[in-house]
Amino acid sequence: MSSYQVIARKWRPQTFADLVGQDHVVRTLRNAITRSRIAHAYLLVGPRGTGKTSLARIFAKALNCTGGPTADFDPADPACVAIANGSFLDVIEIDGASNNGVDQVRDLRETVQYVPAQGKFKVYIIDEVHMLSAQAFNALLKTLEEPPAHVKFVFATTDPQKVLPTIISRCQRFDLKPISPELIVERLRKIAAEEKIAVTDAALACIARMADGGMRDAQSIFDQMISFCGAEISEPDVLDVYGLVAADKIAALAAALAAGDHPKIIALVDDCDAAGRDLVRLLGDLQGLLRTALLNAIAQGGRSAALGTPLTTEQLTRMLDALRESEASVKLGLTEKINFEVALLKAVEASRARAIDSLIKELAALADETSSGTDPGEKKKG
């Protein structure tokens, strides 16, 4: 009986073409390999689940494949298969979180001197490199500055601020970005077809919304939904399992905020709370919708009716600001529902308030007109 493999591992990118949403990094690395301009150290920065470690392994395959280095390698090549399953002697993966001591780095400094056993290059992949201790970083510096020609380093981190500047300056840095919901949906749809899972577009959109730009998170959620639902997944299933609010209800709540409809706001919150929905998540989704309306207002010259009621950029900004300021109280407060309701009502009041500086400008303009003895009505006619 074959052992079960989770979707995130089974569908891990195996070639440059498989990697989704990081075209700028893939293009640069492919060109570097094609033109034989391969640096000795790379730093991959980005949020979790965006492909940092997968990219490091793909890069190692491109360097050590049969007939390489080449960016267009065959993933079925024995060397590539060995790298993918972790049995290739010259690709050494180190977890910075668990191997953060200076002793491990000293061992690394000794082993880099030996020539590769199987491939053309020894590739050291250090994941979560920011977790290395200061002493370990310092022990690594000399090796990183003048490594042997057969050694390449690939560092991955979610927190580049914690990596020493002296390390960063010795690397080529690539920033991997969160993957767009559209690309996540497209990838999940392909996986669903291969795995013979019937899943609605609305359900896929929900999963992508929850993943926050992380492909691995999206695949893990999808895997859990298959365990829960079997071969057919619909939007209500995802909403129930994860406590999400349906997109149309989020839109209705945003419309009630824009219209200042207090009874409707309270009724919708009651409904969501009674259904056991995640109000913290709902607050984030609301902010996303308001941000879209704000961008629309900016594009339309300062006013948008995207939420049903025309609002200015100032009103939308104030509303967003009020929701942002309430995040901590909703997340950490003892009474989540009450804090959430207060946050929404504060946002409505904030959008209705006039900015003091714009009032001062209007009063100053009025005072100037009065002192010059010009009637504002006459000025307009002229």
**pLDDT for the residue 59:** 94
Q: Which of 143-147, 155-159, 286-290 has the lowest mean pLDDT?
A: 143-147
CATH architecture of 7-175: 3-Layer(aba) Sandwich (3.40)
CATH 1.10.8.60 describes domain 181-242: yes
pLDDT of the residue at 379 = 45
From residue 117, alpha-carbon distances to 73, 90, 112, 114, 356 in Å are: 20, 6, 12, 8, 71
Q: Give residue-wise pLDDT tens across range 311-345.
A: 999 899 999 999 998 888 888 877 889 999 999 99
Q: Give pLDDT tens digits for 59-76.
A: 999 999 988 789 999 999
Q: Does 66 or 96 have the greater pLDDT score?
A: 66
**Pairwise CA distance, residues 242 & 247, whole Å:** 14
Q: pLDDT at position 118, please?
A: 84
- pLDDT of 56 > 90? The answer is yes
Two tokens at 8? 């995130």
CA atoms within 13 A on the CB side of 339: 17
* Closest to 151 (Cα-Cα) out of 113, 106, 95: 113
Model pLDDT for residues 184-196, shown as the tens digit of each residue: 999 999 999 999 9
Specify the 3-state DSSP secondary structure of 94: strand
Distances (CA, A) of 14 to 50, 58, 62: 14, 6, 11
Please tell me the predicted confidence (pLDDT) of residue 97. Answer: 74
The average confidence (pLDDT) of the chain is: 87
Confidence check: pLDDT of 371 > 50: yes
pLDDT for the residue 375: 54
Domain residue spans in the chain? Answer: 7-175, 181-242, 247-356
**Mean pLDDT, range 47-66, rounded to an integer:** 92
Domain 247-356 classification at class level: mainly alpha
pTM here? 0.80
Q: Looking at residue 218, what is its pLDDT?
A: 94
Q: Is the pLDDT of residue 2 over 60?
A: no
**Tokens (6 digits) for 17:** 């073409």
Instruction: Output the pLDDT for position 93.
Output: 87
Q: pLDDT band for position 380 (50/70/90)? A: very low
The per-residue pLDDT for 265 is 93
Question: Quick one: pLDDT at residue 382?
Answer: 42
CA distance 104 to 140: 10
